[in-house]
Amino acid sequence: MISLDAMGGDRGPATVVAGMVASARKNPDIDFILHGPKAELERLVARRKQLTGRVEIRDATDVVSMEDKPSQVVRSGKSTSMWSALEAVRAGEATVCVSCGNTGALMALSTIRLRKLPGVNRPAIAVLWPSRNPQGFNVMLDVGADIRADEQDLLQYALMGASYARNGLRIDQPRVGLLNVGTEEHKGRTELKAANELIAQAAPNGNFDYVGFVEGSDIPGEKCDVIVTDGFTGNVAIKTGEGTANLIGVLLKEAFKYTPLSRIAAVLALTSMRRLQKRIDPRRVNGGVFLGLNGTVVKSHGSADATGVSSAIKLAYQLAVSGFQDKIAARVASAVALAQDAPERETGTE
Amino acid sequence: MISLDAMGGDRGPATVVAGMVASARKNPDIDFILHGPKAELERLVARRKQLTGRVEIRDATDVVSMEDKPSQVVRSGKSTSMWSALEAVRAGEATVCVSCGNTGALMALSTIRLRKLPGVNRPAIAVLWPSRNPQGFNVMLDVGADIRADEQDLLQYALMGASYARNGLRIDQPRVGLLNVGTEEHKGRTELKAANELIAQAAPNGNFDYVGFVEGSDIPGEKCDVIVTDGFTGNVAIKTGEGTANLIGVLLKEAFKYTPLSRIAAVLALTSMRRLQKRIDPRRVNGGVFLGLNGTVVKSHGSADATGVSSAIKLAYQLAVSGFQDKIAARVASAVALAQDAPERETGTE
- How do residues A90-133 score in pLDDT, each as one tens digit? 999 999 999 999 999 999 999 999 999 998 999 999 999 989 99
Reply yes or no on whether the pLDDT at A348 is more than 50.
Answer: no
- Closest to B138 measured CA to CA, from B320, B314, B285: B285
Tell me whether residue A336 is in a domain: no
Instruction: Collapse the DSSP code of B254 into the 3-class scheme (helix H, G, I; strand E, B; otherwise coil) and give the result.
Output: helix
Number of domains in chain A: 2
Q: Per the omega criterion (within 30 degrees of 0), is the bond before B172 cis?
A: no
Q: Which of A259, A289, A319 is the last residue of a domain?
A: A289
Tell me whether residue A30 is in a domain: yes
Chain A residues within an 8 Å CB radius of B229: 236
On whether both B77 and B151 belong to a single domain, the answer is: no
Selected residue with higher pLDDT from A142 and A262: A142
Residues 6+ apart with CB under 8 A from A46: none
Mean pLDDT of A36-64: 95
CATH number where A239 lies? 3.40.718.10
- How do residues B221-248 score in pLDDT, each as one tens digit? 999 999 999 999 999 999 998 888 888 8
Report the alpha-carbon distance of residue B285 to residue A199 in Å, rounded: 38
B258 and A275 in contact by Cβ < 8 A? yes
The amino acid at A274: R
Report the alpha-carbon distance of residue B279 to residue B276 in Å, rounded: 5
On whether both A51 and A142 belong to a single domain, the answer is: no
| A184-B296-B126 Cα angle (round to 5) | 50
How far is the CA of B246 from the CAs of A243, B102, B321, in angstroms? Answer: 14, 23, 34
pLDDT at A340: 61
On whether both B32 and B85 belong to a single domain, the answer is: yes
Distance from CA of A293 to the nearest CA of B (A): 23
On whether both A221 and A262 belong to a single domain, the answer is: yes
Q: What percent of chain B has pLDDT over 70?
A: 93
On whether both A11 and A63 belong to a single domain, the answer is: yes
pLDDT at B220: 92
- How do residues A7-25 score in pLDDT, each as one tens digit? 989 999 999 999 999 999 9
On whether both B191 and B275 belong to a single domain, the answer is: yes
Q: For B116, which DSSP code? A: B
Q: What is the largest CA-CA distance in chain B?
A: 71
A181 and B279 in contact by Cβ < 8 A? no
Least confident of A155-159, A245-249, B334-338: B334-338
Q: Which domain holds residue B310?
A: 2-119+292-323
Q: How confident is the model at residue A183 (pLDDT cuts 50, 70, 90)?
A: confident
How far is the CA of A122 from the CAs of A70, A73, A160, A229, B187, in angstroms? Answer: 16, 20, 12, 12, 17
Report, in this order, helix, strand and coil percent for chain A, each rounded to 5.
50, 15, 35
On whether both B264 and B155 belong to a single domain, the answer is: yes
Report the alpha-carbon distance of residue A265 to residue A78 in Å, rounded: 56
B276 and A255 in contact by Cβ < 8 A? yes
Reply yes or no on whether the pLDDT at A169 is more than 80.
Answer: yes
Q: For B127, which DSSP code? A: E
B216 and A262 in contact by Cβ < 8 A? no
- H or E stretch at B323: none
Least confident of A138-152, A310-324, B140-154, B330-344: B330-344
State the best of B240, B256, B303 to mutate against chain A, taking most chain A CBs within 10 Å.
B240
Distance from CA of A161 to the nearest CA of B (A): 19
3-state DSSP of A157-175: HHHHHHHHHHHHCCCCCCE
B236 and A259 in contact by Cβ < 8 A? no
Beta-carbon count within 10 A of B191 CB:
16
Distance from CA of A190 to the nearest CA of B (A): 11
Q: For B167, which DSSP code? A: H
CB A279 within 8 A of CB B251: yes
pLDDT at A346: 46
B221 and A233 in contact by Cβ < 8 A? no
On whether both B108 and B45 belong to a single domain, the answer is: yes
Q: CB-CB: which of A189, A232, A238 is closest to B147?
A: A189
What is the length of chain A?
350
Selected residue with higher pLDDT from A136 and A275: A136
The amino acid at A223: K
Torsion (CA) A322, A324, A327, A332 in degrees, nearest 10: 160
A246 and B220 in contact by Cβ < 8 A? yes
Tell me whether residue A340 is in a domain: no
- H or E stretch at B291: strand B288-291
Q: At what angle do helices A324-338 and A306-321 cross, to 10 degrees?
A: 60
On whether both A284 and A324 belong to a single domain, the answer is: no
Exposure on the CB side of residue B197, measured as CA atoms within 13 A: 5
Tell me whether residue B341 is in a domain: no
Tell me whether residue A333 is in a domain: no
A240 and B219 in contact by Cβ < 8 A? yes
Exposure pattern of B108-120 as b/e (b: 16+ CB <10 Å)?
A: bbbbbbbebbebb
A244 and B245 in contact by Cβ < 8 A? yes
Tell me whether residue B340 is in a domain: no
Beta-carbon count within 10 A of A299 CB:
26
What are the phi and psi torsion angles at A102 (to 5°)?
A: -45, 115
Tell me whether residue A343 is in a domain: no
How far is the CA of A59 from the CAs of A63, A289, A313, in angstroms? Answer: 11, 25, 20
pLDDT at B348: 42
CB A297 within 8 A of CB A117: no
Distance from CA of A238 to the nearest CA of B (A): 7
On whether both B63 and B171 belong to a single domain, the answer is: no
Chain B residues within an 8 Å CB radius of A130: 247
pLDDT at B245: 85
Q: CB-CB: which of B239, B256, B268 is closest to A215?
A: B239
Reply yes or no on whether the pLDDT at A345 is more than 50.
Answer: no
On whether both B129 and B275 belong to a single domain, the answer is: yes
Report the alpha-carbon distance of residue A228 to residue A217 in Å, rounded: 14
- Closest to A150 measured CA to CA, from A58, A226, A231: A231
pLDDT at B349: 40
Report the alpha-carbon distance of residue B216 to residue A23 in Å, rounded: 32
What is the length of chain B?
350
- H or E stretch at A281: none
Q: What percent of chain A has pLDDT over 70?
A: 93
Report the alpha-carbon distance of residue B59 to residue B57 in Å, rounded: 6
Residues 6+ apart with CB under 8 A from B341: none
A251 and B280 in contact by Cβ < 8 A? yes
Q: CB-CB: which of A232, A236, A272 is closest to B265?
A: A272
- Closest to B18 measured CA to CA, from B1, B38, B41: B41
Mean pLDDT of A267-292: 74
Q: CB-CB: which of A189, A244, A259 is closest to B241?
A: A244
On whether both B158 and B173 belong to a single domain, the answer is: yes
Distance from CA of B51 to the nearest CA of A (A): 37
Distance from CA of A132 to the nearest CA of B (A): 7
Chain A residues within an 8 Å CB radius of B272: 252, 255-256, 258, 262, 265-266
Distance from CA of B174 to the nearest CA of A (A): 21
A268 and B265 in contact by Cβ < 8 A? yes
Reply yes or no on whether the pLDDT at A337 is more than 80.
Answer: no
Chain A residues within an 8 Å CB radius of B275: 255, 258, 262
Q: CB-CB: which of B147, B217, B241 is closest to A188?
A: B147
Tell me whether residue A164 is in a domain: yes
Chain A residues within an 8 Å CB radius of B240: 216-217, 219-220, 237-238, 240-241, 244
CB A282 within 8 A of CB A273: no
Q: How many CB pairs under 8 A join A and B?
A: 188
